[in-house]
Amino acid sequence: MKNNVGKKLIGTLAIPVIVAAVLWGLCAANGRSMIANRTSFNYFVIYTAIVMITTMALSINLNSGRFDFSLGAMAVLASVLSSKITYSILGGGAGSAPLMLALNVVVGALIGLASGGLYVLLRIPPIITSLGVTLIYEGVSFTITGGKYVMTEVRSASLSAFAGNWYWPLSIIVVVLAVIVILFDHTKFGYDYKALQNGQKVAVNTGIREVPNALACYAICGALMGIVGFLNMSRSSNINGGSLSFGSIGIMFTAFLPMFIGGYIGRFSNEKLGFLLAAVCMSMLNSTFAVFSNQISASAQSIINAVLLVVFLIYLNNEGLLRKLLSPRKN
């Protein structure tokens, strides 16, 4: 039993600890600090939250074979609408950030639900629906903003205060993690979700109602991406309303590596906790890139990310073989 707990603990923490050791070591060896001050830590926590929540949103549908290109477009549209509504009510005054966050969640859930509704209604493969939805949501955001950066409606002392205190994004991480763990691991919805994920036909034949489950998944994804949109706004104080022709899908690709890392960590503990730890790893990598930004260009950063993704997947998909090759032969 003790062994089992120890193995789980090691398996859960191995990757984050190794990543932390390597990256901290790298920074220290160059006389630099990965997280130099409090503001740097604030950004670290915000980025961790962004990656964790995006990864969750991606994995919810992807684990069920539903590929969704529209995550980025949902984040942008939710932010555009919520910032405009908030500004029209509070004019950038006190309470703007909480109202904006609440609206981002609600609007995100609604547009997620609309996306799911389209999928359920049309009954065409989700990847195709998501292509159409991405174009529609990008088009709507562009039409509302005229393609401009939204700045006036976003900027407020309230939002700056949110971004300037790490415990706010940390609270979001804790709440989102708790809600998602409860929803997917401890409710009937979650059990149905897993049943549908592992045996769609059998689950439907046993009476599980697939359509409400799928709609709920899309709504949850939308709400999560609404939060991501809010976190992005708090970090950059603007929204780029000018994305067209799939310009918004980039955010999805950043979530692949943490999704696979999270899945691996999940073998030893909980997948969602894995996503958090993977997001911490990605955030450490991001902070290290920032430290060495004058030595490692943006192009080099994307190449490093791509290589890490491939190398990790090579390990993940050839683990058995590697273990066989590396273990001592018994003659």
Residues from 103 through 162 that contact another protein (CB under 8 A): 118-120, 122-129, 131-136, 138-143, 145-149, 151-152, 155, 160
Tell me which residues in 9-28 interact with another protein (CB under 8 A). Answer: none
Tell me which residues in 155-194 interact with another protein (CB under 8 A). Answer: 155, 160
CA distances from residue 206 to 65, 191, 193, 209, 221 in whole angstroms, order as listed: 20, 13, 13, 9, 26
Sign (positive or negative) of CA dihedral 93, 80, 63, 7: negative
Which is closer to another protein, CB of 10 or CB of 198? 198
Minimum CB distance to another protein, residue 329 (Å): 23
Stretch that binds another protein, among 13-21, 88-96, 204-212, 268-276 (CB under 8 A): 204-212
Q: How many residues bind another protein (CB under 8 A)?
A: 84
- Assess 313 for contact with another protein (CB under 8 A): yes
Stretch that binds another protein, among 58-66, 74-82, 179-187, 267-275 (CB under 8 A): 58-66
Three-state secondary-structure class, residue 149: strand
Stretch that binds another protein, among 42-50, 107-115, 222-230, 264-272 (CB under 8 A): 42-50
Tell me which residues in 63-82 interact with another protein (CB under 8 A). Answer: 64-66
Minimum CB distance to another protein, residue 92 (Å): 12
Site string for another protein, 272-301 (x = CB under 8 A): --------------xx-xxx-xx--xxxxx
How far apart CA 8 and CA 239 sit, in angstroms, is: 41
Contact status, residue 151 vs residue 238, Cβ threshold 8 Å:
yes
User: Looking at 11, 13, 20, 40, which residue binds another protein (CB under 8 A)?
Assistant: 40
Minimum CB distance to another protein, residue 128 (Å): 5
Minimum CB distance to another protein, residue 11 (Å): 22
Tracing tokens 């407020």 back to the chain, one arrives at: 156
Tokens at 156, concatenated: 């407020």
User: Looking at 230, 256, 264, 275, which residue binds another protein (CB under 8 A)?
Assistant: 256
How far apart CA 119 and CA 127 sit, in angstroms, is: 9
Contact status, residue 56 vs residue 172, Cβ threshold 8 Å:
no
Contact status, residue 158 vs residue 86, Cβ threshold 8 Å:
no
Neighbour-count burial for 200-213, b at 16+ CB within 10 Å, e otherwise: eeebeeeebebeeb
Stretch that binds another protein, among 90-98, 175-183, 219-227, 249-257 (CB under 8 A): 249-257
Which is closer to another protein, CB of 174 or CB of 306? 306
The angle that helices 256-266 and 38-62 make with each other, rounded to 10 degrees, is 80
- What are residue 239's DSSP bridge partners? 150
Stretch that binds another protein, among 22-30, 165-173, 271-279, 304-312 (CB under 8 A): 304-312
CA distances from residue 38 to 18, 43, 200 in whole angstroms, order as listed: 24, 9, 48
Among residues 68, 72, 75, the alpha carbon closest in space to that of 129 is found at 68
